């Protein structure tokens, strides 16, 4: 991976690093629930820890991508103010656990995720819109994808942009019945497929990373909030993403049309995050391809995180050791920077 040195000011660097401390806190709390089969308690542990950590961050933040509305607390709800109120003013997107089912079953790939961008620049899906059709790639193919083009055409363009053949490519896609047709088309075109059970934020990041060779493109239908979080990361990585609102039924399609939602509109990465000052952080909860999970010891724990900034293009991998302070139940990170 190319190492880049940031030229930005101290305040911006501190905000970006504080986001890592937020995701670390959520991961450390949620990781205790790995494999215990209780998604609700795992979610609550992650949310409580993330909310407390966010309150100490030097920012005036508003949650625009969260778990729900205020009456659904304890989730971090849309419109909630976070941070200590000092500048900068930012939109905040959170997913205390991306892959709650993965965590509850002890499966790989669960993450704690948070992203920020300048106030008013993050896309907020219309009420009732929960899913989007997506395609995401890294920098090499960012100018060639078209979500309206046939699968085979996109794969041919991506292969050409990467100086490869279609059968060299790997497509990552959620293992869902709704994807039967797109899977058939991918196989017919000759590309390889990696099916995942959950966690398409991590999958989109893997598809966009220049220094990761295991995945070339994300395709398929996933959550709308996850699309914005993924877009924030992909913007930092220099890749591209396109999305379209996806109705789950004919009834929902007609409802969206009646509400004036344009189902043909293609949302680009700039539509999803219209800012050039984006920060993204994630910490592994259970070990996966992107990050190692939390490891607990008698003396404390270890975490693995990734931090990105769009302005500089910097990507940092952070291994941290957290030593418990006797009697306080807190942790102190000794972070490798």
Q: Does 58 belong to an annotated binding site?
A: no
Instruction: Tell me what pLDDT residue 210 has.
Output: 85
* Angle at alpha carbon of residue 188, lines to 185 and 191, rounded to 5°: 90
Q: Does 200 belong to an annotated binding site?
A: yes
Q: Does 248 belong to an annotated binding site?
A: no
Q: Does 199 belong to an annotated binding site?
A: yes
Q: Does 167 belong to an annotated binding site?
A: no
Is 207 a residue whose pLDDT tops 70? yes
Q: Does 100 belong to an annotated binding site?
A: yes
Q: What is the mean pLDDT of the chain?
A: 90
Average pLDDT over residues 194-210: 94
- Of 92, 142, 95, 96, nearest to 122 (Cα)? 92
Q: Does 337 belong to an annotated binding site?
A: no
Residues 100-144 have pLDDT tens digits of 999 999 999 999 999 999 999 999 888 889 999 999 999 999 999
Residues 152-183 have pLDDT tens digits of 999 999 999 999 999 999 999 999 999 999 99
Instruction: Tell me what pLDDT residue 16 has.
Output: 75
User: For the whole model, what pTM was predicted?
Assistant: 0.89
All structural domains of the chain with their residue ranges: 15-120+277-323, 131-272
Q: Does 178 belong to an annotated binding site?
A: yes
15-120+277-323: CATH class: alpha beta
Q: Does 95 belong to an annotated binding site?
A: yes
Residues 78-101 have pLDDT tens digits of 899 999 999 999 999 999 999 999
Distance (Å, rounded) from C-alpha 54 to C-alpha 298? 27
Fold of 131-272: D-Maltodextrin-Binding Protein; domain 2 (3.40.190)
Residues 248-267 have pLDDT tens digits of 999 999 999 999 999 999 99
Q: Does 270 belong to an annotated binding site?
A: no
């Amino acid at each position: 991976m190319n190492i880049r040195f940031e030229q930005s000011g101290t305040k911006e660097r501190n905000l970006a690093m504080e986001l890592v401390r937020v995701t670390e806190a959520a991961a450390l709390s949620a990781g205790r629930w790995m494999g215990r089969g209780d998604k609700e308690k795992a979610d609550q542990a992650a949310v409580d820890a993330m909310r407390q950590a966010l309150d100490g961050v030097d920012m005036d933040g508003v949650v625009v991508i969260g778990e729900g509305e205020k009456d659904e607390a304890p989730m971090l709800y849309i419109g909630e103010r976070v941070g200590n109120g000092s500048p900068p003013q930012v939109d905040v997107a959170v997913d205390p656990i991306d892959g709650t089912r993965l965590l509850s079953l002890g499966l790989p790939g669960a993450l704690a995720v948070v992203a920020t961008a300048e106030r008013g620049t993050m896309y907020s899906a219309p009420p009732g819109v929960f899913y989007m059709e997506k395609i995401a790639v890294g920098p090499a193919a960012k100018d060639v994808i078209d979500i309206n083009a046939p699968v085979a055409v996109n794969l041919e363009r991506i292969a050409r942009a990467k100086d490869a053949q279609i059968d060299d490519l790997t497509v990552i896609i959620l293992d869902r019945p709704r994807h039967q047709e797109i899977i058939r088309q991918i196989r017919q075109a000759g590309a390889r497929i990696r099916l995942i059970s959950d966690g398409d934020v991590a999958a989109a990041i893997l598809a966009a990373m220049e220094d990761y060779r295991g995945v070339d493109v994300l395709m398929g239908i996933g959550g709308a909030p996850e699309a914005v979080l993924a877009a924030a990361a992909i913007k930092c990585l220099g890749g591209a993403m396109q999305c379209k609102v996806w109705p789950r039924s004919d009834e929902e399609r007609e409802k969206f049309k009646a509400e004036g939602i344009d189902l043909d509109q293609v949302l680009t990465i700039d539509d999803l995050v219209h800012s050039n000052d984006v920060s993204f952080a994630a910490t592994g909860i259970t070990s996966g391809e992107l990050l190692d999970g939390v490891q607990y010891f008698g003396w404390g724990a270890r975490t693995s995180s990734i931090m990105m900034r769009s302005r500089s293009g910097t990507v940092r991998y952070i291994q941290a050791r957290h030593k418990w302070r006797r009697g306080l139940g807190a942790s102190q990170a000794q972070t490798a920077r």
